[in-house]
Amino acid sequence: MATANQIKALIKSHLEGDPERFKTIALQVAAHEARLGHGAIAQEIKQLIDKGAKQSAKVFPMRKDLDDLVIQTDPESRLSQLVLPQALKERIERILREYLQRSKLQKFGHSNRRKILLVGPPGTGKTLTASVIASELHLPLFTILVDKLVTRYMGETSAKLRQIFDLIQERQGIYLFDEFDAIGGERSRDNDVGEMRRVLNAFLQFIEQDTSESFIIAATNSADLLDQALFRRFDDLLSYKLPEKAQIIRLIENRLGNFGGEFIVESIVDQVEGLSHAEITLASDDAIKEAILSDQEKVSKQLFLATINDRKQYLQYSK
């Protein structure tokens, strides 16, 4: 069972109101029991931890003044679902590790990075990253509908932003500003209007003054459109790109699952290059559905390439 030091640490973390430290120690106890061959006890401890995490992350009613601007979800995405370059994945893991050990950092006068800017083409994993961070840390995900914030509340956008940052302070979670360039655009652009300059200035002020424990994540497809002053307000910048060959292979194999194995994925990589993670996933799903409807147990090479061509044609029309 747990050592005396672990029991004392559990009591101390509970009395100090540090649930993450409590969870870390409890997982250490579970690992210790597993090493001793007590698999049932280890599994029971892990199940209790997961149950407590889900209860603490349950969805609460949204404030009435923000219910049309903020969507709250409880994602179940896992880190293993991210098919990204190893260096980028390690940076995401560092964000998670710093949060889980933030009390240790605070003892030395440091804080965990929690204001993150995600840049890269559409469909390359930015939104999924926010979901993964929320799921791995057992925190709710709040998605701010930036386009609606700008178009519906023109003239009072800054006031709505203030309410959103009040929510960030009041309710700990992961706050995702998707399509962030709608409010983060360069202030000196010729076609800029006074209202949008005021909105950007307000955001710069709010994010700089924020001292909450929430994560503020901004995602954009066009980093070159952002005002330069924004970059200094974020703790980290994660850059996303279209998948390379190794990632394409892993994406397809993971998605096809039991429907794969009919052809060597490496043989069709050249035809898939240029598509985003999301497009490859959609093409794989289309191939699986067609195989099911055609009573095929596996996705053939011909079928998969047909769905890839369909996605490419769709992209041409959507440009």
pLDDT digit string, tens, across residues 93-149: 999 999 999 999 999 999 999 999 999 999 999 999 999 999 999 999 999 998 888
252 and 222, same structural domain?
no
273 and 186, same structural domain?
no
235 and 116, same structural domain?
yes
Of 239, 256, 274, the one marking the end of a domain is: 239
Q: In this model, does residue 283 exceed pLDDT 50?
A: yes
161 and 123, same structural domain?
yes
Quote the number of domains for the chain.
3
Q: In this model, does residue 315 exceed pLDDT 60?
A: yes
231 and 115, same structural domain?
yes
178 and 282, same structural domain?
no
DSSP state string for 264-302: -GGGGHHHHTT--HHHHHHHHHHHHHHHHHTT-SS--HH
Q: What is the CATH number of the domain that holds 230?
A: 3.40.50.300
Of 224, 239, 254, the one marking the end of a domain is: 239
The range of the structural domain enclosing residue 32 comes to 4-56
220 and 77, same structural domain?
yes
pLDDT band at 319 (very low <50, low <70, confident <90, very high): low
Q: Of 16-20, 73-77, 107-111, 240-244, where does mean pLDDT reach its minimum?
A: 16-20
Q: What is the CATH number of the domain that holds 284?
A: 1.10.8.60
Q: In this model, does residue 56 exceed pLDDT 60?
A: no
Of 207, 222, 239, the one marking the end of a domain is: 239
pLDDT band at 185 (very low <50, low <70, confident <90, very high): low
Confidence (pTM): 0.78
Residue 207: predicted pLDDT:
94
Higher pLDDT, 46 or 141: 141
Residue 233: predicted pLDDT:
92
Q: What is the mean pLDDT of residues 203-210?
A: 93
135 and 208, same structural domain?
yes
82 and 216, same structural domain?
yes
199 and 84, same structural domain?
yes
133 and 193, same structural domain?
yes
pLDDT band at 182 (very low <50, low <70, confident <90, very high): confident
pLDDT band at 62 (very low <50, low <70, confident <90, very high): low
137 and 33, same structural domain?
no
